[in-house]
Amino acid sequence: MDEQIKIAPSILSADFSILGDEIKALDSSNCEYIHIDVMDGHFVPNITIGPDVVKSLRGYTKKTFDVHLMIDPVEKFLVPFIDAGSDIITIHHEISENVFQCFETIKNNNKKVGISIKPSTPVNVLSKYLEYIDLILIMTVEPGFGGQKLMNDQIEKIKKTKELIGNRAIDIEVDGGINTQNAKILIDAGANVLVSGSTIFKSKNYQKTINELRNL
């Protein structure tokens, strides 16, 4: 795992009427990733965007597109999102399809692989994936909507995930209710990639807020 703390602003909380401008603003900041939540209204109770939107945003920045696919089925959509410009693709343990087959598709297209678990899913299910993944995404809220409050019981899950991966080069990403008050707690628990939506996009100065999340 890279011990550098990476910040991944979640565009779920951006102003979609000026989404290109929002991406430009992030491009001029020092965030490492841009987090893109894809929801299907089935796997989670909300609908967001498809690969065409991702493709339209790709021209605004060279920053890493960290794409979280909260969809099921997911396999048939992997290549469209890869072709749209995704750099990291995270799928869920809880999907109905063969997770390892999805990993193979992502890896064969030279993209990084992430696996995510919902708050109710125990950490031990991750053990079988450790040799295949680049990133683990711990959801610290129930996935589906932005602006939720962090579930404090997930902090222990982050610690257990850190223990589980040992010295493997796997990033621990956390998403949900992350703000400048709780970021350090999550980092201390073992997270090194912080996804934050409302905290960044509701602030007047994205760069200042990103630095505060990083505890600079």
Q: Which of 37, 40, 66, 171 is catalytic?
A: 37
For 28-137, where are the alpha helices, taking DSSP H only?
51-58, 75-84, 99-108
Q: Is residue 175 annotated as part of the catalytic site, yes or no? A: yes
191 contacts 138 by C-beta, under 8 angstroms: yes
Specify the residue for token string 């565009």. Answer: 11
Strands (E), the chain: 6-9, 33-39, 64-70, 88-92, 112-117, 135-139, 171-175, 193-196
Query: Mutual orientation of helices 51-58 and 19-27 as an angle, nearest 10°?
Result: 50
DSSP 148: P
CA distance 58 to 61: 6
Active-site option among 66, 134, 171, 175: 175
Q: Specify which residues 6 forms β-bridges with.
A: 193
The CA distance from 34 to 119, in Å, is 22
Q: Who's near 43: CB < 8 A, 6+ residues apart?
A: 70, 71, 72, 92, 94, 95
**Whether residue 153 lies in the annotated active site:** no
Q: What positions carry a catalytic annotation?
A: 37, 175
